[in-house]
């Protein structure tokens, strides 16, 4: 199997271009990131070209983090900001040939938030489709992100159906899904046609996938059996230096 290093959590002590090089040296097959916008896209593109790695995806801006924002696209009365963040993400993704953009919903609830999110997703999908970019939505668990608009895979699947865009997909993060719903293997089977990217971390501590309550050897085999061929995203918080937490990687690549 193939794996992607999420550089939002791994090698965070390094500038993004150097983190890309570290991921290559460690044996990862691809990379992904959270919010790369303070780094010149030309530097990121150069590091990707040098290493031969693909940047699988990035997130739209969270907004004003100091004021409590964690995404903008489901926030009523902030559509202009949400769409500016979508445009920013698409431009950056195009510059570095990234395949996916995670459009972050934000802290909001209710019918008005739902309607705003649907319209912003339609906007994102229409802008991204001609460029071959997929839009991802990701349910976040209510322990780490209480009040986040999108919390379950059922809610995400309904949104994907309502928006009706062929390039809108589910980001299935095993960590979040386990905390909210469990039953990972069946969820993966049920949602496989809607999944655009899969991420993972141990539960409950969000560490490397070699401990905790999830048997990732088994989960990875289920994913392989479903024919999912894209690299899986290692989005975990290393306990110590990243390189010291990678004992799982070579074994998992042999699955």
Instruction: Determine contact, residues 156/170, Cβ cutoff 8 Å.
Output: yes
Cite the DSSP H helix spans in the chain: 16-26, 41-51, 79-96, 111-128, 153-163, 174-180, 184-191, 216-225, 247-253
For residue 113 the two structure tokens come to: 């938030």
pLDDT band, very low/low/confident/very high, at 37 (cuts 50, 70, 90): very high
pLDDT of residue 95: 97
Tell me if residue 235 is catalytic.
Answer: yes
Q: What percent of the chain is modeled with pLDDT above 90?
A: 100
Structural domains of the chain, with CATH: 3-253 (3.20.20.150)
- What are the pLDDT digits (tens) for 193-215? 999 999 999 999 999 999 999 99
pLDDT value for 7: 98
Residue 26's pLDDT is 98
pLDDT at position 98, please? 98
Model pLDDT for residues 133-162, shown as the tens digit of each residue = 999 999 999 999 999 999 999 999 999 999
Considering 13, 32, 43, 138, which one is annotated as catalytic?
138
User: Can you give the pLDDT at residue 47?
Assistant: 98
Task: Write the DSSP assignment of 82-133 as a string of letters.
Answer: HHHHHHHHHHHHHHHT--EEE--B-B--SHHHHHHHHHHHHHHHHHHGGGTP
- Predicted confidence at residue 121, as pLDDT, reads 98
Stretch 117-130: mean pLDDT, rounded?
A: 98
Share of residues in the chain with pLDDT > 70 (%):
100
Does the model's pTM come out above 0.95? yes
pLDDT for the residue numbered 76: 96
Catalytic site residue 38? no
Read off the pLDDT of each residue in 86-103 and give the average, rounded to a whole number.
98
Residue 13: pLDDT band (50, 70, 90) is very high
Confidence of residue 83 (pLDDT cuts 50, 70, 90): very high
From 32, 112, 235, 244, active-site residue: 235
Average pLDDT over the chain, rounded to an integer? 97
């Amino acid at each position: 199997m193939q794996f992607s290093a999420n550089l939002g959590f791994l090698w965070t002590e390094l500038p993004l271009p150097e983190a890309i090089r570290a991921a290559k040296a460690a044996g990862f097959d691809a990379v992904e990131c959270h919010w790369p916008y303070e780094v010149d896209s030309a530097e990121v593109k150069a590091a990707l070209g040098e290493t031969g790695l693909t940047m699988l995806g990035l997130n739209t801006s969270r907004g004003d983090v100091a004021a409590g924002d964690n995404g903008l696209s489901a926030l009523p009365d902030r559509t202009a900001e949400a769409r500016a963040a979508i445009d920013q993400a698409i431009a950056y993704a195009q510059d570095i040939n990234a395949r996916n953009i995670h459009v972050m919903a934000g802290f909001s609830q209710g019918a008005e938030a739902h309607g705003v999110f649907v319209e912003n997703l339609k906007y994102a999908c229409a802008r991204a489709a001609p460029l071959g970019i997929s839009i991802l939505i990701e349910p976040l668990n209510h322990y780490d992100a209480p009040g986040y608009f999108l919390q379950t895979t059922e809610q995400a699947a309904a949104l994907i159906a309502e928006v009706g865009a062929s390039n809108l997909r589910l980001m299935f993060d095993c960590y979040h899904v386990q905390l909210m719903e469990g039953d990972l293997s069946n969820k993966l089977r049920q949602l496989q046609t809607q999944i655009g990217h899969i991420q993972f971390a141990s539960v409950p501590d969000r560490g490397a996938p070699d401990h905790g309550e999830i048997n990732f050897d088994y989960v990875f085999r289920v994913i392989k059996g479903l024919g999912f061929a894209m690299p899986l995203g290692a989005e975990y918080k290393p306990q110590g230096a990243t390189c010291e937490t990678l004992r799982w990687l070579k074994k998992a690549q042999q699955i």
